[in-house]
């Protein structure tokens, strides 16, 4: 074989090799079926102790507990705000609510007869913000939203923020027609008489999964439950009425919290039936994924938007308790900001309890990492990837966490902020210009204010709080001159 012939053969082999590699490359780019799906379940007002796997003995959540037994279960998961809209904005954007401009539920309620006036918030999540749904849509995911949105009115709905389909998401923060059809919801058609809203939203999600089982998809199922009105699921109510009769404490136990009262025991059968209905529907959703052989390539995230409704100034008994945590929704004590967080990674079959402090903004970069999509630190500025602590190691990934709630709340909260660094937590109140200091590892109930015993720790955290305020460009409440 002469040199020319050898050169021709080598050239042909080289060209064939390049084409083969190009083909191989194309095959790695295309495979929709190989991509990881996402099912994100967000429950409204679900308290830290409202699940069996988090310590409830009155409520029953066998399906969620089973999911937890195969998942990363976060013991110290926090929301960046003790009410709904700011946390929902943070989940969507990976940013602290103060950066986004939403620090209260929308449109909020700033009373005019108090010593301070809260800062003016935006009334919607700006369209300029890029949500993680938009990032997934760019990656050719089919995106579906069902349930509570509460991040803006017409023009700012889920379909304007990256979701192909929206079932039930509009500006209202509670089910305006209640939990039984007719729903009085402009984005959800009424169902047959007796249909329960939690069931209906799950049916819509499962229908979407059926239609898109061959495509990578995002299902964002933001249940309205267990937000007020507390409206029992009639199928399960008797089960918990009977169970309540056998409780050690059948009477409602209350504790004073400022001008309010906090419920100290889980007693409410109606609320328990709503939790059980939620659990049944989570079970249906998981079974659907199993039946379609999708569990091994689906990431499941389960969490809440703020602490449980335990504390109120009104002449009304809140429906749940998160003791030993202090207070609940509307407060930046642990009861208002500590929530369940369960993350089931594809193929994961064992539980791992994670002690590290994490926060809602972390979910955006975590989802991208599990899906093997590029990180977007230009977007999820305040979120960190939780995948690094869902393996063998568990370590602190955040230097400190920050809460900015400069508004009054019907739970009795007055405008304030908080910061947590390691075991230590500082709470600042604008009205009185005073602080409280707690070691929450040793004192989970925040009952022993250590402000006088640890002046250096107090000063350290006050400086850290000031750093966060400057970085987030927070807005403080103003003195009410006409009060």
In a 3-state reduction of DSSP, which class is residue 255? strand
Q: Topology of domain 35-396, per CATH?
A: Alkaline Phosphatase, subunit A (3.40.720)
**How many Å apart are CA 390 and CA 102, to the nearest integer?**
30
The pLDDT score that the predictor gives to residue 456 is: 97
Per-residue model confidence as pLDDT tens digits over 38-94 = 999 999 999 999 999 999 999 999 999 999 999 999 999 999 999 999 999 999 999
Residue 432's pLDDT band, with cuts at 50, 70 and 90, is: very high
Residue 2's pLDDT band, with cuts at 50, 70 and 90, is: very low
**How many Å apart are CA 331 and CA 415, to the nearest integer?**
9
* DSSP letter for each residue of 166-211: EES-SS-SS-TT-SBS----TTS---STT-BHHHHHHHHHHHHHHH
Residue carrying the six token digits 């080289």? 14
The pLDDT score that the predictor gives to residue 34 is: 62
Whether residue 275 contacts residue 61, with contact meaning beta carbons closer than 8 Å, is answered with: yes
Phi, psi of 196 (to 5 degrees): -100, 135
Residues in a beta bridge with 144: 165, 219
Residue/partner pairs of 447-453 with CB below 8 Å, 24 or more apart: 447/326
**How many Å apart are CA 93 and CA 130, to the nearest integer?**
6
Nearest alpha-carbon partner for 402 in 470, 478, 356: 470
Per-residue model confidence as pLDDT tens digits over 263-288 = 999 999 999 999 999 999 999 999 99
Taking residue 404's Cβ as centre, other Cβ atoms within 10 Å add up to 27
The pLDDT score that the predictor gives to residue 221 is: 98
**Where along the chain do its domains lie?**
35-396
Average pLDDT over residues 354-369: 98
Q: How far is residue 94 from each of residues 269, 381, 462, measured CA to CA in Å? A: 36, 6, 25
Residue 16's pLDDT band, with cuts at 50, 70 and 90, is: very low
């Amino acid at each position: 074989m002469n040199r020319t012939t050898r050169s021709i053969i080598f050239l042909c082999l080289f060209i064939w090799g390049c084409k083969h590699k190009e083909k191989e490359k194309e095959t790695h780019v295309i495979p929709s079926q190989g991509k990881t799906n996402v099912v994100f379940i967000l429950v409204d007002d679900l308290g830290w102790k409202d699940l069996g796997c988090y310590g409830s003995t009155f409520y029953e959540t066998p399906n969620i507990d089973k999911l937890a037994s195969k998942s990363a279960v976060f013991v110290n998961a926090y929301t960046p705000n003790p009410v709904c809209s700011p946390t929902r904005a943070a989940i969507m954007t990976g940013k602290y609510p103060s950066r986004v401009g939403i620090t209260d539920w929308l449109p909020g309620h700033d009373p005019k007869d108090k010593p301070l006036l809260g800062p003016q918030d935006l009334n919607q999540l700006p369209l300029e913000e890029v949500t993680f749904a938009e990032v997934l849509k760019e990656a050719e995911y089919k995106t579906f939203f069902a349930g509570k949105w509460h991040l803006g009115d017409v023009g700012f709905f889920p379909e304007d923020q990256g979701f192909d389909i929206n079932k039930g998401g509009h500006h209202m923060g509670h089910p305006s027609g209640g939990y039984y059809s007719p729903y009085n919801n402009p984005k959800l058609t009424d169902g047959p008489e007796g249909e329960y809203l939690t069931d209906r939203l799950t049916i819509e999600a499962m229908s979407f999964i059926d239609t898109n089982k061959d495509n990578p998809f995002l299902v964002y199922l933001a249940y309205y439950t267990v937000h007020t009105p507390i409206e029992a699921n009639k199928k399960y109510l008797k089960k918990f009425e009977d169970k309540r009769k056998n409780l050690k404490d059948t009477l409602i136990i209350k504790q004073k919290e400022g001008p309010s009262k906090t419920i100290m025991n889980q007693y409410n059968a109606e609320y328990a039936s709503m939790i059980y209905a939620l659990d049944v529907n989570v079970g249906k959703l998981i079974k659907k994924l199993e039946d379609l052989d999708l569990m091994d390539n689906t990431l499941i995230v389960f969490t809440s938007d703020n602490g449980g409704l335990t504390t109120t100034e009104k002449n009304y008994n809140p429906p749940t308790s998160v003791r030993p945590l202090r207070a609940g929704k509307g407060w930046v004590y642990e009861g208002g900001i500590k929530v369940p967080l369960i993350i089931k990674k594809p193929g994961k079959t064992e539980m791992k309890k994670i002690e590290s402090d994490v926060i809602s903004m972390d979910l955006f970069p975590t989802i991208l990492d599990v899906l093997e999509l590029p990180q977007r630190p230009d977007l999820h500025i305040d979120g960190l990837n939780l995948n690094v602590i869902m393996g063998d190691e568990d370590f602190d990934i955040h230097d400190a966490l920050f809460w900015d709630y400069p508004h009054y709340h019907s739970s009795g909260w007055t405008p304030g902020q908080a910061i947590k660094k390691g075991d230590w937590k500082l709470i600042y109140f604008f009205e009185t210009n005073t602080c409280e200091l707690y070691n929450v590892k040793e004192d989970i109930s925040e009952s022993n204010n250590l402000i006088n015993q640890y002046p250096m720790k107090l000063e350290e955290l006050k400086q850290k709080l000031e750093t966060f305020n400057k970085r987030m460009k927070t807005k403080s409440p103003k003195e009410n001159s006409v009060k």
